[in-house]
Amino acid sequence: MLLPAPAWAQSILRDAETEAFFRASSDPIFAAAGLTPQSVHMYLLHANSINAFVTGGQNIFIHSGLLLESDDVNEFLGVIAHETCHIACGHRLRTGEAYASAGATSVLSMVLGAAAILAGGTDAGMGIMMAGQSMAQGQFLAYSRGQESEADLAGARYLETVGMSGEGMIRFFDKLRDQEILAQVRQDPYIRTHPLNRTRILQLQEAVERSPYYGNKPNPTLEEQFQRLKAKLLGYLYEPRRTLRLYPPSDTSLAARYARVYAYNKALEWDLALEEAKALVAMEPENPYFHEIMGQILFENGRVKDSLPVFQKAVDLAPDQPLISTALGQAMVSLEDKALMEKAIPILEDATRRDRGNSFAWFNLAKAYSWMGREAEASLATAERFYSAGNPIQAVMHAQRAVDSFKAGTPEWLRAQDILYVSQEAAEKFQKQQRRQQRRRLTFDNQE
């Protein structure tokens, strides 16, 4: 599985602050559409192109490029409102044959495997290929023009319900419209999956102008959070030199410092990164995410012991954020000390209970169990890790071990059985798909 990731492979970026922002900004829009907000999930994909799409029922995937290209939060939420209708209005994509055979329900578990944790290590290697395959399939999907118009009008309605101006939606689509004249390969995928034309924008313009909130500025709290996230994401993704050009050290605004923390960290300039992180903590001592990144810098710099109280502070400030708990748990586990292992177990158990797809938390939990001689639980946690990382072949192996070591009928035994059953099926499907692709590749080579 350790092949170089193909060009179309994309990974999910996981970050506590981003996920909290997604919830706070978008839940009201989901509710306005008549959806149950908790059942809609948003995922940030590491991909430079502009795209957002709905798959596997109520999951919205957002390319990092879309977030970075949105000038303000209203542009971003305009796209979210549009996507929300694709869910709430029951739009089915015209699916390609390959997509249908892959099974929409398995897409999500595959995709989750590619999750990388923004402020932290990655455990992405295993799931990345499968995620890439399911994402590549997304490329042949497109909504009809009728569905697009419906999504525009419904989106404008949702925004009006929550008291937001829909102007940002138009601004964002206008930017994409410039791409209509480009050759398909140079277009962003969004314009291919959501066909755009002049009539569509004019119609949307009319609807948006009728709203009493037309022309209102974005909500200042959301706008501030959004600009911070953009700075953080940019610092994490761009080459440090590029980030420092955009946010030179002379810029002492909070967003600029936030971008530079990640840029310096990426450039392995630990001292500079730590200095910026300290400045951020001084600006907002109660902000859990600033303590989180400070802990991360210490941790990555090998100062693991120093990172513990800093992570602990972040957890105290945000006790309901499993990704931050995971960072603390990881730091504890990595010290390979029995007393800390024991302490880490309940923290990681809690994190995995609230975030079952967090393969990185499962990995650390398995290690802690194993250290404490709790081998059956270690096998089950490892099965969970590979299951959530979209690696059914490894999941089968460890789930079988867990089935053999737990007493029949216990909750752990039942869970291991479930993973075994689902993963066996997925493993077979995956192997069949691999063989089919190999055959296709061979045929293609012969034709050449």
Query: Which residue, 207 or 399, is less far from Zn ion as judged by CB?
Result: 207
Q: Which residues pair with 12 in a beta bridge?
A: 45
CB atoms within 10 A of CB 2: 6
CB of 112 to Zn ion, least distance (A): 24
Q: How far is CA 379 from CA 374, 375, 398, in A?
A: 9, 6, 5
CB of 213 to Zn ion, least distance (A): 22
Query: Which residue, 86 or 228, is less far from Zn ion as judged by CB?
Result: 86
CB of 91 to Zn ion, least distance (A): 8
Type and span of the H or E element at 188: none
- According to the 3-state scheme, what is the secondary structure of 127-145? CHHHHHHHHHHHHHCCCCH
CB of 163 to Zn ion, least distance (A): 23
Query: Which residue, 155 or 357, is less far from Zn ion as judged by CB?
Result: 155
- How far is 43 from 110, CA to CA, in rounded Å? 13
Query: Which residue, 115 or 156, is less far from Zn ion as judged by CB?
Result: 156
CB of 54 to Zn ion, least distance (A): 9
Q: Which residues pair with 417 in a beta bridge?
A: none
Query: Which residue, 149 or 405, is less far from Zn ion as judged by CB?
Result: 149
Query: Which residue, 52 or 341, is less far from Zn ion as judged by CB?
Result: 52
CB of 173 to Zn ion, least distance (A): 10
Contacts of residues 331-334 at CB distance under 8 Å and 24 or more positions apart, as own/partner, are 331/295, 331/299, 331/304, 331/307, 332/308, 332/368, 333/364, 333/367, 333/368, 334/299, 334/304
Binding site for Zn ion (CB under 5 A): 143, 148, 151, 194
- How far is 289 from 355, CA to CA, in rounded Å? 18
Residue that is written with structure tokens 């390319």 in the block: 63
